[in-house]
């Protein structure tokens, strides 16, 4: 593990940097990646962002000229340095980027469950969002905060903290947000796009999710499920689904909220766990090969023959073990 100053020097000395996000990208991995890319551009370096999955068009305000179309096939340069951001495990890069999994030079992350896959790791597990750490890194590189950088970082902080509502939010998170707002981050625009704009398809899917709601373990656990056929029928993109993970946990009396989302391949389920401060979400997911934070974590149950009920019972058993600690 390296310190902030070492990571800053490494990036300041680097050339031709490719920044990798995790698959099914959320605001924190996207914000971290584009903030770093813009910062490296300010230092006169070639840098670009690569993600396995499409990035939703409502993030276009983070892109130079409002456009992002980088793919494996059209990389603008041959990367000499590979940096992953907000990626706790190399498997989260996705199958298409697996060729890079064993070649990561630097991982910048805030997940305590980081597997240490990169040659160098800059980790701050007490950061509520990876963008909180990325702000310090960019400043350590001596880059002046500009519009694109602060908008990218504020996006990550707002989305990964649920607009400062999640238990991971700290005083330092608010101080970081204040610094970004004072530097010109477009708070109203970002709040509207990230938190106050919902497609009709997503609204219907929320209704479906509530219809699937089941209470378990004396009401301490609430579980919702999202099936792929319905997601496809409503034309809801996976990035729109991220906010639904907090829905079951928000119910009065629920300590553990679980969301099961069927994969695009139909071969298993992505599981998101959200908890209050008394239950460790990371411990729940670790039993199934996942990880994350104390209040928010995830794992997967994979296999072409895995049924919803099988996945349901596996995660429920892990929740039961943790509640009995």
In the chain the domains, ranked by start, together with CATH numbers, are 4-195 (3.90.1640.10), 201-323 (3.10.310.30)
pLDDT at 169: 94
Q: How far is CA 47 from the centre of its chain?
A: 21
Q: Give Rg (Cα) of the chain.
A: 19
Q: Model's pTM, two decimal places? A: 0.85
Tokens of 226: 């999202």
pLDDT at 286: 94
Q: Helices marked H in 88-244 — which ranges?
A: 130-140, 147-160, 171-182, 187-195, 200-211, 228-233, 238-241
pLDDT at 87: 97
Name the residue among 107, 136, 110, 137 with its Cα closest to residue 125. 110
- Taking 70 as the pLDDT cut, the residues of the chain under it are none
pLDDT at 56: 85
Tokens of 79: 């990367």
pLDDT at 78: 95
3-state secondary structure of 20: strand
Distance CA 304, CA 324 (A): 32
pLDDT at 157: 98
């Amino acid at each position: 593990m390296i310190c902030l100053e070492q990571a800053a020097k490494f990036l300041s000395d680097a050339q031709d940097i490719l920044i990798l996000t995790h698959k099914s990208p959320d605001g924190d991995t996207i914000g971290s990646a584009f903030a770093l890319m813009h910062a490296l551009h300010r230092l006169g370096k070639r840098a670009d962002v690569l993600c396995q999955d499409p990035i939703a068009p409502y993030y276009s305000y983070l892109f130079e000229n409002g456009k992002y179309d980088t793919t494996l096939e059209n990389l603008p340069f041959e990367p000499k340095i590979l940096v992953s951001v907000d990626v706790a495990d190399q498997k989260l890069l996705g199958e298409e980027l697996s060729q890079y999994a064993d070649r990561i030079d630097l991982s910048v992350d805030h997940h305590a469950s980081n597997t240490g896959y990169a040659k160098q790791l800059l980790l701050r597990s007490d950061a509520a969002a990876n963008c909180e750490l990325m702000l310090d890194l960019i400043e350590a590189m001596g880059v002046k905060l500009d519009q694109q950088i602060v908008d990218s970082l504020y996006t990550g902080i707002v989305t990964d903290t649920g607009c400062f509502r999640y238990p991971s939010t700290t005083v330092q998170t608010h101080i970081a947000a204040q610094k970004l707002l004072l530097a010109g981050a477009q708070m109203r625009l970002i709040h509207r796009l990230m938190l106050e704009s919902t497609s009709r398809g997503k609204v219907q899917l929320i209704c479906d999710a509530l219809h699937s709601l089941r209470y378990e373990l004396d009401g301490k656990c609430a579980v919702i499920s999202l099936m792929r056929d319905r997601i496809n029928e409503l034309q809801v993109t996976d990035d729109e689904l991220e906010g639904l993970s907090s829905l079951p946990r928000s119910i009065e009396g629920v300590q553990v909220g679980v969301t099961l989302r069927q994969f695009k391949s139909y071969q298993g389920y992505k599981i998101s766990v959200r908890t209050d401060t008394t239950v460790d979400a990371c411990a729940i997911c670790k039993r199934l090969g996942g990880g994350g934070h104390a209040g928010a974590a995830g794992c997967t149950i994979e296999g072409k023959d895995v049924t919803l009920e099988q996945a349901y019972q596996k995660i429920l058993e892990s929740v039961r073990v943790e509640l009995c600690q």
